[in-house]
Structure 1
C-alpha cells in the first residue's frame, strides 16, 4: 500500500458525558471501538488509536531558566477536552472522512478531522 496523506481524527469528551453513559453500555462501546481499530489497522489506514487520561491529569510544561516548570491542569478551561485521537493514513480526504464517519462515536458525536501538514519521520 502506498502511503497517502495523514490525518488526526479527534473525539472530544467530558467527565459529565462519560458519567451519563450507563455502565452496562460500556462493554459494547469498547467492543465496537476495538472492531473499528482492527478493521482499519488491517487496511493499513489506522496508524494508531490513543485514549487520553481525564483532563485532571493534564499538565502544562514550560521551560524556565533551562529547567521544566510544570503546572497542573489543562491549558484551556473548557467543559470538553480531547478524549482520544486516531492517526490515519489515507489516499484522499474523502477516504479520511469516510473512516472518521465510521468511528462508533460518530453516531452521536462529531469527530474532528485535521490534515497533518508537516511530519518529522521517526526513522530517516
Structure 2
C-alpha cells in the first residue's frame, strides 16, 4: 500500500484524524496534481513552539527549545512539486485556491540527496 503523502498515494485525509465535515479546500487542487505525478508531497509543520534547535557539542546532540523567531511569520506547510518547467510551477502556484487573496511562494529545490543516504 502506498504511503500517504507520496506521489502514488490516493488523495485522502489522514486516517489517524477524525473525518472532516467537509473536504479540504485544497483537495480539488491537490488530487489532479498528485495523479499527474507533479505533486510529490504535501506537508504540514507543527507549531513553531514545538520546534527544537539542535547543535553538536563535544560530539553529542545539544537540544534546546526553539526556534527563536524574530518574525511573525514562519512556514506552516509546504508542497513539493516536480514540474517540467518554471512556467508550469508558476501556473500550479497560481491555481492554488487562495492565490487570488494571498501570495504563494515558489522556491526551487537546489539538490536532492542520494536515495541510499
TM-score, structure 2 as length reference:
0.74
For 1:90 and 1:55, locate their aligned partners in 2 and report how far apart those are by CA, in whole Å. 30
Q: Which residue of structure 2 lines up, in the alignment, with residue 68 of structure 1?
A: 61
- Confirm whether residue 37 of structure 1 aligns to residue 30 of structure 2: yes
C-alpha root-mean-square deviation of aligned residues, in Å? 2.1
SS at match of 1:99: helix
Q: CA deviation at 1:119?
A: 1.3
Q: Which residue of structure 1 lines up, in the alignment, with residue 40 of structure 2?
A: 47
SS at match of 1:36: helix
Q: CA deviation at 1:74?
A: 1.5
Q: Could you say which structure has the higher helix fraction?
A: 1
SS at match of 2:62: strand
Q: CA deviation at 1:85?
A: 0.5
Q: Which residue of structure 2 lines up, in the alignment, with residue 59 of structure 1?
A: 52
* CA displacement 1:16-36 (0-9 Å, x = unmatched): xxxxxxxxxx966x6221222
Q: After TM superposition, which residue ranges in structure 1, 4 or more long, deviate above 6 angstroms?
A: none
Q: Could you say which structure has the higher strand fraction?
A: 1
Contiguous gaps of at least 5 residues in structure 1: 1-25
For 2:114 and 2:36, locate their aligned partners in 1 and report how far apart those are by CA, in whole Å. 21
